[in-house]
Structure formats: structure tokens, C-alpha cells
Structure 1
């Protein structure tokens, strides 16, 4: 065993569900639950539904504030989506919460046929996106964005932090039509307020500029990208970060504009499989626009991932800050 390995603290099983926040990073508790309560105060048609996971999607906060508008559907995700569709047809604005694997894989046909085909005003908020749990393939939603991007009428959102989540909920409440949002729950990192950020549906945001590398990212990978930029600043490279919170509709105009700048390595970073997510969406946009920068992708492999402690898995599959820095330095060399 190496000296470095001996120095690392021993990880316990709690690390399988550890916070995605870096050590010392500011966090905000349950931003989704509090944002939904605020939205519901202004819109009496908002209701909250869950499939036996109210506490684990932060919907319990909404249930405490509006018990008469909180519906516990039991472990029946297909019923959850069908009921949400029925409520929307009657004029309500349902927010349906469960784990991302159950929302997308188990209830896909109900989302497709009941909600999306009729363009109903249902908001699907799905926890444990990508590799944010160490409980193996049964709980790791590494393909959810690909599935939801393929559904007509569906808007797809992958927020970065607590601020992004809070503002996205408000925008979703105003938007008419089905939305799928990856849900960050519990103690969620807070960092975008330092960049003067404001969420706009369908808009990408350049958080910082740099002449050597452009990282195009969504979700928690924007947090990682900003850490990479800080780590490499003043030495290895100047790194720009373009945050893409809305994958559908995709802000192709801003992406293409940033990728037209010559001399930069373009890296798409996502907490999702290499298949069907942000990387493929960006690559297609660039191909259609005939823009061809040096292009690389940081993403999860097209495979069933291991179970284990999240820090270990993030290193193993290349989405930790350390592994991202190493790969980008290698590509630049």
C-alpha cells in the first residue's frame, strides 16, 4: 500500500451517501423544499406528490407547510406520474418527487404517454442524479438525462447548487408544460452567488473566462469545473467555465459563440453517461454549426457502475476535481 493511501482517512459506509460539498464549502439545507413552499404561497394550484420518499426529496418541508396539498402515493412511481397528470388536467400544478432512477426508468411510459404527449403542467423533481449515491446501479441514475431529453415537450434542467435549485423552482412554477429537474437535496453546496449568477430557463451562463480551456458543464460538474479553474489558475492554464443548467432547450447560440474562440481546448463535463447527455448535445450543436475546436469529454462510462464510497467512485470514474485536473493537464500537454 502506498504512503498516500495510508494517509487517507478510512471511509465508512456513510460515505456512500456523503454530501457532494467539498470540505469547508458553504451549504444550504433543503433548498428545493423551501423554494417550493415559497412558490406555493403565490400559487394555490401547486401541489406536491411523492412515492414514499418525502423526507428524502425534501418534500416533507412542503408537506409541513401545506399538509392539505401534500400527497403520499406510496412506492408506486407509475401511479405517481399518472396521478400528477390527472391533477394537471384538472388545473393543478403538480410537483412530483422521487429518486431519478425510479422516475425515469420505472415510470418512463407514464411520463411519455400521460404527461408529455398532452403537454401537461407536471414538474418532475428527481433526487440522486448521476453518481451522487454509492448504492450501485439500482440507485445511480446515469442515463436519466438521455431518457428525458428524448421525450417531446419535456424541458430538462440540471442545477449546480442551492441557488440554482431555488431559482429553477421559481422558474418552473412560472413555466407551462412538463419539466424534468435533477434534484439536489439535503445540505446542498452554495457557490454561484459569488459569481453574480441568476438562473434563466434555456440560458447558459459564462461564470468565468480563460484563454486556454473552456469547460462546458451542468449540475455538480460546474462546481467541479470552478474548482479545477481555481486549481489551475496562475500556473497550468487559464480555464473558462460555461454553466449549462438547461439541457433542453439547449442554448446553442451561447455554446457556439464560446466554442468559436480559437486556441482553446473545449471540455464537456457531466455527471452522466457518455451516451445521450450534455456531451452529445454540445457535439451535435458544434457539428451543425461547422465549429470544430479541440474537443474532449469528462463523463461517466457507458457501464454499470460500482457501489462504494462516493469519493472513491468519483476518483475511479474521473469526475473528482483531482482527476479532472490531471486529465486536462494531460490533454493540454
Structure 2
């Protein structure tokens, strides 16, 4: 089959569409990898890959445990494998991920769409607010949550080059563009997107855009906020956070996830071990979501630029 067209970068792409298109863009340069799907290719963006490379696409049906076990088996013969499904469905296969993938250190990449409140009208049963915490807790797993379509493309290629198990979130809603060009993406390295001196805003996924908007609002009030894109939650970039916090003395974490165990947990652990400082967490506060449009849910559960800015003001007031 001839090379597929370059697809990444369309205006209004969701992270899931960006992921599916990036697989097509990478397929010629990386001819060995295959994609396994749990009967949701239309929802994960992998329908693009299925169209262009049907012989490298395996439909596993609604059998996530079997799909992960199959992926682990394929990886034993040095075949890089992507496993794709919705985030909440991936939790069905955590035992297989733990033993067949992570314990065995197989080169399997799990990419899950529909995380957090971004799922919207599908409601609490489909809004996965626990995935980052669960995958962070599995020994040997790398955990990634990119911020925009171009970073998804860069992260997907970085995953292909990395030998070992990885979990990456994508997303359902159209994503705000943060990067003008495809960024350099290094697993385990955070990126300072905006420099500041009064407070550090550490975010991942869709909350990076919200944090940048919050920083602009704070600047109008005379508050200088540094924004750090922590796209890799594990291994966490302690050095970048420590450098930022040494300058600002206060931190806000922001994520579309339960405040326990995800990015907030990673930041709290890092501060406790390397550079203690006051911390405020922006995220879902240990509750399930409900049905509603993503913007409505963001406002109800406090995942907005205004909520990030308010947390910044609170944490600045707590400085010693």
C-alpha cells in the first residue's frame, strides 16, 4: 500500500482523532507495529488506521482482558502493539496489564480515549476518573496525558521508540491547540509553557489549556503564574517541578481526574520528597460525575480557568 497522507493538525481535532491520524502518519516509518481494538475504533480514532492499514489492525471485540493478553503474546516476538479502547473499559483488564504486560515487561502501548468528565453525556459509568491513579500504581508502567493534538502525535512516536509498557490518555472533545508546531516530546520530561514567579500551575491533558488561560487572568491581577505541562505523570519530572517551586514557593495541580492518585498525587509526592511547598489541587473531588455537556460539567466540578486562578490565589496566601 502506498504511503498514507499526512493527517495531523486539523483544526478542532480531538486528542483521540489526533492519535488515530498519527498512527497513519507513522505507519510507513515504523512498519512493524500493529493495533488492537476493543470494538470502539470509531471512538478511539483508530478507524483512520483501520482504513489505511487493515492487515495491521485486529478487531478483538468487547473482550478487553483477552485483547490485552493477545497483545502481550504478540509482544513476546518483538512486535510493538497498541491496545485501544475507552479508559473505563481498560480497567476491566487491569489484572492482565499488571501481570501479562507490566510484570513481564512487554512492549505494549495502551491508549485510552474518553477519560474524565470530558466523556460528557455518557455519564458516571463511562467517565473514568481513576485511570491515571491505577496505572501509576502498577510497577514499570509509564503514564502519559498529552495536552493537545500535536503533542499527542509527538507522544505517540515517542512511545513507539520506547521499549516497555505505556498507558496514554487521549480525549473525546475538540482540543484547544497549545503548540504551533509538533513539539519535542521526551518521556519523563515536563515543559514550562509560561514563566512566572508567584505560583506554579502544573497541569496535564485538557487542563493545560485551562491553566494557561488562568495564568493570563492572574497576570491581569498582577500575579505571575508559571505554567508547567506535566504530560508524563510517571516517571515524574521532579527536577523541573523543584526548579519552578524554588522560584515561586507555591503550587496548583490541575487535572480531569480524581484529585487522589493522579497528577495531584504525583505533585504531592514530589513536593514531600524534594521541595516542600503549599499545594492546592484542582480536579474532581473524590466523587463520580454525571451526565451533561463537558463545559457544564467543568463548571459544576471546578475544572475551569476561574477555578485554577482561585486555587492559585488561595495557595499564594498560604506561603510562609
Cα contact 1:265–1:295 (8 A) shared by 2 = yes
User: 1: CA distance between counterparts of 2:49 and 2:215?
Assistant: 37
Cα contact 2:69–2:100 (8 A) shared by 1 = yes
1:147-188 deviation line (CA, Å, top 9, x unaligned):
000111111000000011000001001110110000135643
User: 1: CA distance between counterparts of 2:31 and 2:289?
Assistant: 42
User: 2: CA distance between counterparts of 1:331 and 1:174?
Assistant: 39
User: 2: CA distance between counterparts of 1:236 and 1:136?
Assistant: 39
Cα contact 2:201–2:252 (8 A) shared by 1 = yes
Cα contact 1:167–1:199 (8 A) shared by 2 = yes
Matches for 1:158-169 after TM superposition, within 5 Å: 158-169=145-156
Per the alignment, in what secondary structure is the counterpart of residue 203 of structure 1? coil
User: 2: CA distance between counterparts of 1:324 and 1:202?
Assistant: 24
The answer for the alignment partner of 2:204 in structure 1 is: 218
- The correspondence for 1:241, drawn from 218, 227, 235, is 227
Structure 1 residue 330: deviation in Å?
4.9
Structure 1 residue 32: deviation in Å?
0.8
The answer for the alignment partner of 1:251 in structure 2 is: 237
Q: TM-score, normalised by structure 2?
A: 0.90
User: Structure 1's 185 and 174: CA in aligned 2 closer, same or farther, altered over 3 A?
Assistant: farther
The answer for the alignment partner of 1:113 in structure 2 is: 99
Cα contact 1:122–1:179 (8 A) shared by 2 = yes
The answer for the alignment partner of 1:7 in structure 2 is: none
Q: TM-score, normalised by structure 1?
A: 0.87
Matches for 1:49-128 after TM superposition, within 5 Å: 49-103=36-90, 105-128=91-114
Q: Considering only aligned residues, what root-mean-square deviation do their CA atoms show, in Å?
A: 1.9
1:138 aligns with 2:122: no
The answer for the alignment partner of 2:306 in structure 1 is: 322
1:280 aligns with 2:265: yes
User: Structure 1's 247 and 71: CA in aligned 2 closer, same or farther, altered over 3 A?
Assistant: same
Gapped runs of 5+ residues in structure 1?
Answer: 1-24
- The correspondence for 2:286, drawn from 292, 295, 302, is 302
User: Structure 1's 186 and 42: CA in aligned 2 closer, same or farther, altered over 3 A?
Assistant: farther
Cα contact 2:282–2:307 (8 A) shared by 1 = no
Cα contact 1:81–1:107 (8 A) shared by 2 = yes
Structure 1 residue 85: deviation in Å?
0.9
Cα contact 1:84–1:96 (8 A) shared by 2 = yes
Structure 1 residue 292: deviation in Å?
2.3
Count of residues paired in the alignment: 305
- The correspondence for 2:159, drawn from 134, 150, 172, is 172
The answer for the alignment partner of 2:168 in structure 1 is: 181
Cα contact 1:45–1:91 (8 A) shared by 2 = no
- The correspondence for 1:44, drawn from 27, 31, 39, is 31
The answer for the alignment partner of 1:156 in structure 2 is: 143
User: Structure 1's 181 and 324: CA in aligned 2 closer, same or farther, altered over 3 A?
Assistant: same
User: 1: CA distance between counterparts of 2:189 and 2:315?
Assistant: 28
Cα contact 1:100–1:144 (8 A) shared by 2 = yes
User: 1: CA distance between counterparts of 2:13 and 2:144?
Assistant: 20
Per the alignment, in what secondary structure is the counterpart of residue 303 of structure 1? coil
Structure 1 residue 236: deviation in Å?
4.2
The answer for the alignment partner of 1:230 in structure 2 is: 216
Report which stretch shifted further, 90-99 or 27-36: 27-36
User: 1: CA distance between counterparts of 2:80 and 2:23?
Assistant: 11
User: 2: CA distance between counterparts of 1:320 and 1:38?
Assistant: 33
Report which stretch shifted further, 139-148 or 294-303: 294-303
Report which stretch shifted further, 107-116 or 131-140: 131-140
User: 2: CA distance between counterparts of 1:187 and 1:258?
Assistant: 30
